[in-house]
Structure 1
Amino acid sequence: MAMIPKIKRFAAAMIAVVLSPALAKAQGGFVAQGAEYKVAGTLAGEQVYPHSSIKTTGGYVVWQDNITDGDGYGISGRKMDGSFSGALSTFRVNANGANDQERPQVTMLNDGGAIFIWQSGRQSFQNIYGRVRNASGIWGTGDILINSSTNVYQRDAALTTLSGGNVVVVYSSYNQVAAGSMQDVYAQILTPTGAKSGGEFAVNTTTAFNQRSAAIAPLSDGRFVVVWISEQQRFENSADVYARIYSANGTAATSEFLINSSTNICASPSVAPSADGGFLVTWMQLDLAVSTNSWDIYSRPFSGGANGGVTRRVNSFTYGDQLAPKVSSIASDYQVVWTSMGQDGSDDGIYGQFLKSDGSLSGAEFRVNTSTPGQQMHPTVSSDGVGTFLTVWTGFVGGANAFDLFSQRYVSTNAPLNAPGAPIVTVLSSNTLSVSWPPVQGISISNYEVYADGASAASAVLTNTYWNSTGLAAGSTHSYKLAYVVADGRRSPLSVAVTNTTYLSNWFYDQIAGEWMTANFGNAYWTWPQPGIDSDGDGASNLNEFLAGTNPNDANSVLKVRLQPTPQGLFLDWNTQIGLIYQVQQSTSVNSWSNLGGPRFASGSLDSMYVSGGNATFYRIVRLR
């Protein structure tokens, strides 16, 4: 197996997993729902620096990965359905694979699409790039250069979606103000299509030394607030948290103002909005009085008019380092998560605390991760704005997989279950449709229910994740919805319906659906070319074009598959028809095939998958829908 470059070994330890009850750890009106789960699945290499954005209908998780694009670090993502389980397979975000792509972020758009951002390039020569994915899951753009000044370098980008629909990206830029000015915070407003709205603008007004580590949040009245670390603004060797509020069009609504109330060194700010128009800021702060305590987590609420409330320490366990807090909100409730060194009895662990609207503690501090051996780090938290917080972090698993992503849901004690994602409906024959779906992760499921053609009672009750709907009429159209029942008997709402149509009964040579032949070769069936004929000379027979969903009369429409060696190992590359769903299969003999990973949605015209390390000799791509 080829060596995989740029893997940092953070820890090595034995792994043990203990599952938590279905609902546990009641804290401040929210409870942990089910157990922790691998939202991205088990993947080769190291998945680090995750970020997520969710709505009640689902969302996205994105991360930095050392086996994504064949060259250094790349950005990978996975869509989540309404239960916040992984849906379909992971996908590559960055179109350009040269050099490193790092520190990704994602925000959901108001129409269900998403914008991803990251920093790209060689160290000290990086720029901020973004990419838009529409509500159908299809890429609407290639890689978009977000920063305007390119003779300097940018890093540590963050973004948010405003209530009016635009997106604001903030980042640090080196020496852009003047030679030797160090880092300053800049912002750029984007439309939902990824177009720039106006030019980039400086956020901080004090420019001496570094202004860095920016975070951003939308306010309920349509404005937004940016927070950052400012070095030596108050006195020599100081490091404080500052903020500034902006209108939706990027006009400053306030001057920059101080967040922390002490003179201790601060770092890693995060911010979340409140339903009353205000916001809450969290940061890590160095304890200068008790050296063994080192870093702690602090918070402070502010009104929409920038009036500050009480500053409070968030963490209860104070020994050692509590690092890199992240905060999210539902109405005026907040969840804060951070990394705590040594608290869980192993190495780093993920801890959390709920806060009330005034920033006071709600319940006790709690451990988020269930698995404790090795390092758990890089936590992030997002909310659907209604009743669910989702915490995602990087956890050590050892071996070739090194670090995977883990998730834990926290739900309001009176929140209903979320609906699952829509099933995939695939045509098998003239009288059979296949209905399949990804499993709901992290929750103890009693069974799944499939509802066909608007039925009020379940058409099938199953414990697996697929069902064949048989005995259908040729050429008939049918719709299917999905629900799940948890171990305590509660039933989820139904998913949205998905429809498909069986083939007509006349199959050409028992291999190709007659309607496909008619659509491509006309009604004169006696003139149809045989399945083995390559009508357009593109190297694929008409049968293979039928199976791949390509056009047999267009030489440019053909499924081409190749194995591509890279410094990170072997990748399987293929072109796709946008909007279709494919399945990668592997075999050692071509007589028997097995699925490799899950179904893959074609969000663009190309797809790629890491395949090194297996025993397969042959690979093929099968179109599911």
Structure 2
Amino acid sequence: MAESDFNLFLVNSVSADDQRRPSVAQLANGNILVVWDSGKPVVVGGPDYPEVDIKARIFDPDGNEVVPEFRVNPVPGLSANGSGSDIYQISPVVTALANGNAVVTYATDESLAVARIISPTGSPVTGEIALDQDSPSIDRDVDVVALDSGGFVATWISSPNGANTYFEISARIFDANGSPATGEFQVSQINLDHQQFPTVTQFANGNIGFAWQTDGTYHIKGRVFDTSGTPVTDEYQVSTGVSGDLNNSRWNAKIAGLDNGNQAVVWGEANDIKVRVLGPDGSAVSAVFNANTYDPTDPTAIDGWQPDVIVLDDGRFLVAWANGYAGIRARVFNADGSEAVPEFDISPAADFNAQQEGEVEVVQLADGRLMFTWEEFTDEADGNGRGIEAVVMKLPTYDYDTGQFVSVGSAAVDDINGILVQDTGQDDLVVALDGNDIVDAGDGDDTIYGDSAPAGAAANLSLSFADEIAASTGKGKDRLYGGSGKDSIYGGGGRDKLKGEDGKDKLYGGKGKDTLVGGKDGDKFVFAPHEGKDKVLDFGNDKGKGKDKLNLKAFDFDSKADALDAFHGSGKHTYFKAEGTKIILKGFDHDDLGGGDLIV
């Protein structure tokens, strides 16, 4: 897996300029295609759309590169001061076709909404295909989805009068080769104001559902067509509430066709991510409800924006959204709109205070895992402006009887990121079994075991995992991470890495050659006889927020003075050796060690 203990990896390999607006799809061969636009940063007085090219890169399901980064648009774009070619290509969307290829749609500076079909290896199958039939002066905001027939339907905003007077929503259906199967047809029915941000899906009955924002009332609208482009319904309103209120405007709608025949529509509204379940004819199945848990009375609360929605293999649906400086979040719902998995975090805790993220997209892979990708707004991702990040993860499990997220590793090489399975401030128990596991607990006062949990702790897990816990031996190379709570982290019998992160944590290395990092605040490092050779990388380096201590109670020293006699070294080379256990305090000066550093 690529580049991170959190299963987090950088999508773009070229870091020059800004990388923005990612879209992701899993191809028929199982590989993952990510596309994005790449270009110059926006500057004051510069062009509104300085993007230059549409880039892409293909990965295997674990995030390893299969095809290096390549350009999708056939003619290279030019920077804002260039001439003689498209200045920009912008806002790509990708969908996988049944024949193994993929289609990428995007807008160009020539006011065209276009598509291009590419092979599973990234080679072009077609040139640029103009989506519109009448070539109006403005076409952009393209979305696309593959159809059961093997073709695809694309939708975009267009200005039929050839000027920026008003926008309507247009669409057209194509076969798998990119040849038009229908003419262009108008989706929006009422076009007194701008209609924008269209989204499209196919329902279980084969019909095609659209949703978009109308600029005058700031509501989300919808309409249904059959696969010949013939209307099945009139335009209907999805959102509720006050019309024409700019402060509570609705935007960035996304639509998904549910397995039971209904549809789920999500959108941003003020500080919230809204959801509504509707029938295949647009009739209401649920009221409008929130996906996020934004609390306007909390001064530290961060609003949600730019949502995405997908249908999971089991019929539930997942809503993901950007949460500003708090990263990427998601929540899972049953088909009727009731909660299935509470809100949880996607991006690693290390990112939260330094980065801002948005433009999230998610896809479920053939093996059931999820891949999220998003735009990193700062230079933290690739060191040079905006970058594209992604993470592959397992869908978290939540036990409503105990009120806890639960994740149990397998005997394979597992990545279990507790930021993914827990970041609601609750207290969790996580058990990693045999194999090379990665566990990150997130917030809350958590207990993490790199091997089997003791009998009393196992009761906190759902019974379905009891046999696995009893059978585990914890001999893998585990990486166990705490969060911002007071965490207790237990290594197993392998070469483990334990990191407490924030909070006053307890770290137990266990047997094997382990590496321990307490993180901020005063942490306790607990050792016992016959546990092998461990390293503590940051003992005493708690940034003034507490005092680290070594817990040596298991050695039965008569006094702290006796315990100090077991430490040796000079300068910044300090180690403890007794009863089959060796502890190296890396970078800690032996002369600075005193009884106050020990618990005996």
Pair in the same fold by TM > 0.5 = yes
Match of 2:156 among 171, 187, 191: 171
Aligned to 1:54: 26
User: Does structure 1 conserve the Cα–Cα contact (< 8 Å) formed by 2:410 and 2:435?
Assistant: no
Aligned to 1:149: 134
Paired residue type of 2:99: D
What is the CA deviation profile of residues 410-436 of structure 1, one whole-angstrom value per residue up to 9, with x for unaligned ones?
A: 4347999999xxxxxxxxxxxxxxxxx
Paired residue type of 1:59: I
User: Does structure 2 conserve the Cα–Cα contact (< 8 Å) formed by 1:55 and 1:383?
Assistant: no
Match of 1:63 among 36, 43, 61: 36
Aligned to 1:119: 107
Separation (CA, whole Å) in 2 of partners of 1:418 and 1:300:
39
Structure having the larger proportion of residues in strand: 1
1:307 aligns with 2:283: yes
Structure 2: where are the runs of 5+ without partners? 42-49, 77-84, 243-247, 296-300, 398-408, 414-433, 438-473, 479-600
Aligned to 1:45: 17
| Correspondence list, 1:26-425, <5 A | 35-41=7-13, 43-55=15-27, 57-66=30-39, 73-97=52-76, 98=85, 99-121=87-109, 125-135=110-120, 137-174=122-159, 176=160, 181-232=165-216, 238-263=217-242, 264-286=248-270, 295-308=271-284, 309-318=286-295, 319-331=301-313, 332-342=315-325, 344=326, 349-370=327-348, 371-372=351-352, 373-384=354-365, 387-395=368-376, 396-398=378-380, 401-412=384-395
Paired residue type of 1:303: G
Aligned to 2:426: none
Change (3 A) 1:149 1:316: same
Q: CA deviation at 1:80?
A: 2.4
Separation (CA, whole Å) in 1 of partners of 2:211 and 2:475:
43
Change (3 A) 1:159 1:417: farther
Paired residue type of 1:300: R
Q: CA deviation at 1:142?
A: 1.4
Q: CA deviation at 1:386?
A: 6.3
Q: CA deviation at 1:206?
A: 0.4
Change (3 A) 1:226 1:418: farther
Q: CA deviation at 1:380?
A: 1.2
Separation (CA, whole Å) in 1 of partners of 2:4 and 2:121:
37
- Indicate the SS of the match to 2:394: strand
Separation (CA, whole Å) in 1 of partners of 2:412 and 2:19:
27
Q: CA deviation at 1:103?
A: 0.5
Q: CA deviation at 1:191?
A: 1.1
- Indicate the SS of the match to 2:323: strand
Q: Which has the higher contact order (CA 8 A, sep 6+)?
A: 1
Question: Percent same amino acid at aligned positions?
Answer: 20
Change (3 A) 1:239 1:138: same
Paired residue type of 1:366: F
Separation (CA, whole Å) in 1 of partners of 2:361 and 2:150:
23
Q: CA deviation at 1:306?
A: 2.3
Paired residue type of 2:37: Q
Separation (CA, whole Å) in 1 of partners of 2:121 and 2:67:
13
Separation (CA, whole Å) in 2 of partners of 1:134 and 1:166:
15
Paired residue type of 1:377: G
Change (3 A) 1:405 1:72: closer
What is the CA deviation profile of residues 119-146 of structure 1, one whole-angstrom value per residue up to 9, with x for unaligned ones?
A: 101xxx5211111113454311112222
- Indicate the SS of the match to 2:280: coil
Separation (CA, whole Å) in 2 of partners of 1:487 and 1:247:
56
What is the CA deviation profile of residues 69-101 of structure 1, one whole-angstrom value per residue up to 9, with x for unaligned ones?
A: xx9511000112243543121110000223101
User: Does structure 1 conserve the Cα–Cα contact (< 8 Å) formed by 2:220 and 2:250?
Assistant: yes
- Indicate the SS of the match to 2:260: coil
Q: CA deviation at 1:307?
A: 2.3
What is the CA deviation profile of residues 534-588 of structure 1, one whole-angstrom value per residue up to 9, with x for unaligned ones?
A: xxxxxxxxxxxxxxxxxxxxxxxxxxxxxxxxxxxxxxxxxxxxxxxxxxxxxxx
Q: CA deviation at 1:180?
A: 6.7
Structure 1: where are the runs of 5+ without partners? 1-16, 21-34, 233-237, 287-294, 420-443, 448-485, 491-625
Separation (CA, whole Å) in 2 of partners of 1:387 and 1:149:
42
User: Does structure 2 conserve the Cα–Cα contact (< 8 Å) formed by 1:58 and 1:84?
Assistant: no
Paired residue type of 1:389: L
Q: CA deviation at 1:152?
A: 1.8
Q: CA deviation at 1:40?
A: 3.5
- Indicate the SS of the match to 1:182: coil
| Correspondence list, 1:610-625, <5 A | none
Change (3 A) 1:249 1:59: farther
Separation (CA, whole Å) in 2 of partners of 1:249 and 1:385:
30
- Indicate the SS of the match to 1:47: strand
User: Does structure 2 conserve the Cα–Cα contact (< 8 Å) formed by 1:285 and 1:296?
Assistant: yes
- Indicate the SS of the match to 1:358: coil
Change (3 A) 1:55 1:178: closer
Q: TM-score, normalised by structure 2?
A: 0.57
User: Does structure 2 conserve the Cα–Cα contact (< 8 Å) formed by 1:226 and 1:245?
Assistant: yes
Q: CA deviation at 1:185?
A: 0.3
Paired residue type of 1:119: A
